[in-house]
Amino acid sequence: MPEVKVVQQFMQANDSVAADNRRLLAERGVVAVNLMASPGAGKTSLILRTIEALDGRARIGVIEGDTASQIDADRVATTGVPVVQVNTGGGCHLDAPMVRSALDALPLDDMDLLLIENVGNLVCPAGFRLGESQNVVIASVPEGDDKPYKYPAMFIAADVVVVNKIDLLPYLDFDLPAFRRLVQGVNPRARVFETSCRTDEGLSDWVDWLDGLRARPG
């Protein structure tokens, strides 16, 4: 069988499971947000600060995706929210069947917001639907301001782009207006938030956006 045909069948099978995941989450009233970023951009830190900020306002669950280990899941577990670790065994992204297995292990009836931390990668995760309601790309200041130009598919797939670690702007050569123009150029519909998990700058806007999703799931 030609390789292209095999890839098409694989993607179709993934999309079918993703659709099932989305229906299951909708039936339980859970909004799922897929967080994608390169390693070290601050995905787990943003999740931890989000859990803290939404305490008492949202019932949160977390899926932690990584190639190996459960370090991030252990960090999230200290907050008391339900969390499931998914190890891909070296794979560069989560897929819908992996997420489905994690959903079966989560108390969906006691949740209304699911944060999915995808594997750290700015290429592969963009091509795989998981059943999410929203796609978020986190880009950190130390990575440089050219990421939308270098990885356009990831930013095209994003509903929201978070510029993280903005407390480092005075010390690094990161052109924030140029970054915003690049995002706008590849994806005019994407919202951009600027955050710092260290100083809390911008976190309230990000958290309010997440909180608002629960009123308009899907």
Cβ within 8 Å of residue 23, ≥6 positions away = none
pLDDT, residue 5, reads 59
Residue 98 bridge partners (DSSP): none
Sign of CA dihedral 68, 70, 73, 75: negative
Whole-number pLDDT of residue 214: 77
Pairwise CA distance, residues 61 & 83, whole Å = 6
Sign of CA pseudo-dihedral 19, 22, 23, 24: positive
pLDDT at res. 86 = 97
Please give the pLDDT value at position 85: 97
Closest CA to 48 of 70, 81, 25: 81
Predicted pLDDT at 9:
76
pLDDT at 3: 56
Residues of the chain scoring pLDDT < 70? 1-7, 215-218
- pTM to 2 decimals? 0.94
Domain boundaries, the chain: 3-213
Q: Tokens standing for 109?
A: 């009836």
Query: At the topology level of CATH, where does 3-213 sit?
Result: Rossmann fold (3.40.50)
